[in-house]
Structure 1
Amino acid sequence: MPTLTCAGVIAMAVKVIKHYVQLRQAWSSGLTAEARCLRTYTTTSRHSDNDRFRTTLHHVYEFTPPAGRPVRFAEEDGPATIIEGDFVTVHYAADRPEKATAHSPSPAKGAAAMIGMLCFLGVMLAFCVAFMATAHDMFDLADM
């Protein structure tokens, strides 16, 4: 079980880093477009350790970059004040417009969030490794 947890933690760390890199690429490209909010919806997930729920707001946007083909993308945790039909400015990289973001550029906030999440995941990974090492030592002593 700890091995699976370690694999999950590493996968989450990779996902966090990829998301931050995509945001940075979109923000640093300097390319913006006006996008229309096509749809908003929420998803609800339950934490397994208690009865608390987390609701995530999603927005679906569509914009047309100068290349001409419409691009549609969904994004989590946008402002609740944006509703269907609203127009927003999106940031995107020319080679990956489908990875656009409607979040305002905030590299310091994004970096802080990424570092905080990576620290949390690092603690979880360290705990799993320490647990596996302790269990290994206990079972080695039992064999003697």
Structure 2
Amino acid sequence: MRDVFFLALPALLAAGGIAGMVAVLLRARRLQAAWDSGIAVEGRCVAGYVVTRTHGHGRPGHSVWHHVHEFTTPEGEVRRLEEAGGPRTVVPGDTVTVRYPHGRPGRATALPPAARSRTLLGTGCVMAFLVVFVLAALSFMGFYLTVFKPMWHTARTGGTGSTRTVPDLPPLPSLPTTWPTDLPPPPADVPLPRP
């Protein structure tokens, strides 16, 4: 049971960190492909809203702007795009430039290529955090397998390779159940309480 806790939980955390790294890299690659494709169409912002995450007990956290953009592909297909992190100055009714890879309007973005450095910096910071997170989980698993598990095995077997048994303790003396009657009388110089 101890192995499940000390190995499975860090393995799940490491797997989650790796999945996060893959998601961050795929998003960065999708944005790069949209910016480099050369396909740019005019779109219109149809909605904007803010998502605020709190840090518990009502303390304000950070806010992220989300926009919903509508655009028409050169083939005449009307598409909608919902995206986080756009400029705060874009409001419903504004015209935006939407870019997407050739033949893939589902991977469109309205983020301008000027945001490339900010996106690259954010991707780098998130990747660095996730790499440290995954390495910490894997290090804990390695430490458990090389230090804790052998130490517990040695303590359990007493270093002999066979399981130690704890000797039985002697029984406790029984306590009296009645008041003793064979007490000696008090010394003569001790004053007795008066009734």
Equivalent in 113, 116, 120 of residue 105 of structure 1: 113
Q: Distance in 2 between matches of 1:108 and 1:84?
A: 26
* Cα offsets for 1:31-86 (capped at 9, x unmatched): 111110011112222347xx552221100001001011101010001111111111
Which residue matches 2:143?
134
Q: Structure 1-normalised TM-score?
A: 0.89
Work out the percentage of aligned pairs sharing the same amino acid: 35
Alignment of 1:81-120 (within 5 A): 81-106=89-114, 107-120=116-129
Q: State the superposition RMSD in angstroms.
A: 1.7
Deviation at 1:109? 4.0
Distance in 1 separating the partners of 2:117 and 2:88:
22
Aligned residue in 2 for 1:122: 131
Identify which of structures 1 and 2 has the higher relative contact order when contacts are C-alpha pairs closer than 8 Å and 6+ apart.
Answer: 1
Please identify which structure carries the higher strand content.
1
- What runs of 5+ residues in structure 2 fail to find an aligned partner? 1-8, 155-195
List per-residue Cα deviations over 1:91-139 (Å, max 9, x = no partner): 1112211211111114444333323321221111111111111222212
Match of 2:65 in 1: 57
Which structure has the bigger radius of gyration?
Answer: 2
TM-score, L = length of structure 2: 0.67
Once residues 76 and 108 of structure 1 are traced to their aligned partners in structure 2, the CA distance between those partners, rounded to angstroms, is: 16
Work out the CA distance in 1 between the residues paired with 2:44 and 2:90: 10
Stretch of structure 1 that moved more, 92-101 or 17-26: 92-101
